[in-house]
Homo-oligomer: A and B are copies of this chain.
Amino acid sequence: MRKLFVILLLAACWLTAGAQAEVERWGRFEASFKADVKGNPFDVALTATFSGPDTTFTVRGFYDGDGIYKVRFMPVKQGRWTYKTSSAVAALDGREGSFTCVAPGKDNHGPVTTDGTYDFKYADGKRYYPVGTTSYDWMHAGGDYPARTIRSLDKAGFNKVRMLLVVQNFDFGYPEPALYPFELKKKSRGEDGKTHFEWDYTRFNPEYFDHVERCIDSLAAIGVEADLVLFHPYDDGRWDFDKMPMDVNLRYAAYVTARLGAFRNVWWSLANEYDFMRHLTIADWDSITRTVDEGDPYGHLLSIHSHTAKYYKYWEPVYTHASVQDQAPVEDFGRAAIVRNIYKKPVIFDEVLYEGNMRNRWGSLSGEEMLHRMWQGLVAGTYVTHGECYQDSPTDYVRDFLAVGGEFQGEAWKRIKFMRSVLDAMPGPMQLSDSSWDPYTSSAGENYYIVYLGKRISHEWTFDLPVKNGPYPRLKEGQKFKVEILDTWNMTVTQYPDTFETTAPVGDRVYDKHHGKVRLPCLPYLLLRITKAE
């Protein structure tokens, strides 16, 4: 496992090598400059303007410690790029250079962006269906957790991980991280027996961010998007990272975007459960949003996440998608599409409760229920994030993937590759064929239907489809279909032997001319894939 991580880190290092002559498209150019300045080097303003084929970007640089300032850039077009820096510090001003942006490597499809109203794609046009999981502190857990987590994500086939940029405090027994984002001024033991930290919020810890960056590059190397949560409320008086003043929050947001904006697999998640950081107002979040948005000339995906069913103003143009915490929309049919219909943006249900054995009500889903909720969201044209939290005791996080990563312990993760294979086989993303009239049937292309049966257990399914097929041509008479029975839990695909031929529409439905039915195995979580018969 360590070996894999080393290889990935080497790959990552290659991505971040010094001022390069060639950089692949959506790769990362980095230039370093030495300067001695008086005062706090983190206060130095440095920007660089990159000019390339028909386009110009201005990015912020940042101080990386040891007298080194850096600018990073992700070229979005192939061809020759030149740059020039600007700073009040002479040694950092007017520094120029150039490089050539070459074709992207085989597994580099660029950053993920929105596609149409409800979906995602890579910058090179390849479809991207987010099938993510959650591991808040895998970067911070220390030891070989990062390497083991990368390996687990790769093995399971997830393509996104929701993770915290700053470590959280599950409880006071939670392991102390080796690194912190800020310079430590003082550490003392209080009268309460707890360690008290005093931070210099004007000085970041480059070593901390360097570690984070290696982790993010390791994710890129296995094709996983880093849904990076910048703020969270789970500190509970341990380090007070959830109670920083607004000027520190904005300084931090600016530093983070300067460092990480050029990483193609970064998504900005402004917060986890933002509404539990009760000292911050919506106006404060607007400021944080603006700072991140302004610091990112590439337009990485950007959202924010709230406590259960609180729902944010995702309709504002700056938010690229809705990152929702609410289990209700994916617990049963007919719900998730409501959220999509209202926001008219891609919707990711980033917390719908987790698979696990916890005693609380949010971490105790069965694997079946976790997987079912994911499919439930998918057939409605939304996306659902996985998470699992198994513990040997209530304060033992060693096996808790949600907390520290490591190895998955549960059952749902084993079905993720199968899920992705079903998604990848579709001509396009799913959406309800006839929204609000039929919550079970989804369209993924012309004459391409998905019927998810969920928990219904039946020995047969009558061939019965809506005439309406989402945005695709309506179903016509005399169309021949085959049906495959997919068992989403047991991961089997069974081609049903009969072929079906559509009647003329009867009201808003069509049936098989010979009243055909599909015999089913009387199991839950079946999905019917109904496609044109040749």
Contacts and interface: CB of A to CB of B under 8 A. Distances in A.
A526 interface: no
Interface in A301-328: 308-311, 313, 315, 326-328
Interface string A229-244: 0000000000000000
Interface in A425-448: 435-437, 439
A343 B342 CA distance: 9
Interface in A78-110: none
Contact of A439 (B328, B337, B339): B328
Nearest to A316: B315
Interface of A is mostly: loop
Contact of A342 (B327, B337, B339, B435): B339
Contacts of A334: 328, 331-332, 335
Contact of A315 (B315, B341, B437, B507): B315
Nearest to A326: B436
A329 interface: yes
A508 interface: yes
Interface residues of A, number: 28
Contacts of A439: 328
A262 B93 CA distance: 66
Contacts of A520: none
A492 to B, nearest CB: 30
A338 interface: yes
A361 interface: yes
A310 B343 contact: no
A507 B308 CA distance: 17
A326 B435 CA distance: 10
A341 B306 CA distance: 12
Interface in A336-372: 337-339, 341-344, 361
A315 B439 CA distance: 26
B341 A311 contact: yes
A343 B328 CA distance: 16
A361 B507 contact: yes
A326 B309 contact: no
A362 to B, nearest CB: 10
B308 A436 contact: yes
A341 B436 contact: no
Contacts of A332: 332, 334
Contacts of A342: 311, 339, 342-343
Which has the most chain B C-beta neighbours within 10 Å: A337, A338, A343? Answer: A338
Contacts of A337: 309, 328
Contacts of A313: 315
A338 B335 CA distance: 8
A327 B507 contact: no
A437 B328 CA distance: 7
B328 A436 contact: yes
A344 B315 CA distance: 13
Nearest to A362: B437
A332 B329 CA distance: 12
A328 B335 CA distance: 8
Contacts of A326: 338, 341, 436
A338 B339 contact: yes
A207 to B, nearest CB: 41
A457 to B, nearest CB: 19
7 contacts: A308-B435, A311-B341, A311-B344, A334-B335, A338-B339, A339-B342, A342-B342
Q: Closest 7 interchain pairs by CB?
A: A328-B436, A309-B436, A311-B342, A309-B341, A328-B334, A311-B341, A338-B338
Given A331-B334, A338-B338, 14 more contacts: A308-B436, A309-B337, A309-B338, A309-B435, A315-B315, A326-B341, A326-B436, A328-B337, A328-B436, A332-B334, A334-B335, A338-B339, A342-B342, A342-B343
